[in-house]
Structure 1
């Protein structure tokens, strides 16, 4: 369902985004935040970003360096990515207008995951329960416990990834949050939402789209579409995350926004969240 009233998309006051990587807050919530800001509604919200896989060695256009998981490399890449993230959140929300939590988990390639080319478009480490090793399972357990604490918070929205295309880090965060929500059961006080992962959302093949739709149907997720601002998101991405983004982001974000516009038969560009009931 398309919501012309942006306030109705996330009615909760406290918004907690559990981001797998440093740039995911922008791609999960950026369009929503820009629309809220344009309507003068951001002042009534409190935001927390949780950076999950915050020990990184990844830098765009550095294939050889991305194979290096040494402490020196992690210090170098993590420092750059953390500052990029803080600068982008400052631009979106204003300095000191949000809380920022670092979980300190090792990103996929630091854990030794092989980066595959997503249909020749971008590097990523795919994964599922079948491919998870003992380290991954330990992370999932820690994330489930952390997410469980937020499930008990009143007037709170928890934002998780849908894990489109199946990046292993996104998959772990999604499954940890979903398991925590299910375990909380009727005692859960927080609302749970799943965001479309970008730019992956605009790059799925038919099999990946089916897997995504099966997850949505299997968990009775309810769609909430709203006005998006893809060009502003891209401008923020290329300005604040130069170590991460390349031209493929243009395609992934623009294509998805136009696809959703046509799907909901509206005149504006669109983004979408799903609510777990």
Structure 2
């Protein structure tokens, strides 16, 4: 096709497009679309303005919140300074939180320390040379291990159970770090003479520890009493008197013991 023909074809296409646009304009379609477009644009502009207004209100509220928070902190500080009790309570709460966090970590260490203290006391009191150490699990169960490192399985007598309990009490007293008096009821009950000597010597050997022994007359007899006399600060003899009808009365005789009372 020649250049003239191409131009003629292009002119015809443009003519058809112009006619089409003129037809749209004549039936009002173009005007309607233009009006709708303008309305949509106005709505978009209004939404943008609303968003900007909301942003301004948000900024104002954030500023107000910051101001109120600062005022609250100032007033709280004044209250704390004027109320020592509140400050003490808050410090106590912080200390409690620290303790709660430390207990799980310290518990296994204290269990090992208790086991070591029990082992030391148990070896002093018992006469079983095969005992190496006592171990305590985190669940509180305990085992006596032999020199091979294996648990020793034997039927403990009542006396051996008492020795184990004595080692536990002494271990707890040491681990706690509290220098409080220890009250031991029937300390030598169901023990043979060798164990009696060991336990009695243990309870009376530490001058810095106050121990109150509640003994029966046949338990710490005259011989054992003579051995510990130099370690005894005070004695009381408890005497029970029946006043009738199942009613009794107990009195304490100061600086007296069974043998002295019998003389």
| TM-score with structure 1 setting the length | 0.24
Bigger relative CO (Cα 8 Å, ≥ 6 apart): 1
Larger radius of gyration, structure 1 or 2?
2
| TM-score with structure 2 setting the length | 0.25
Higher helix proportion (structure 1 or 2): 2
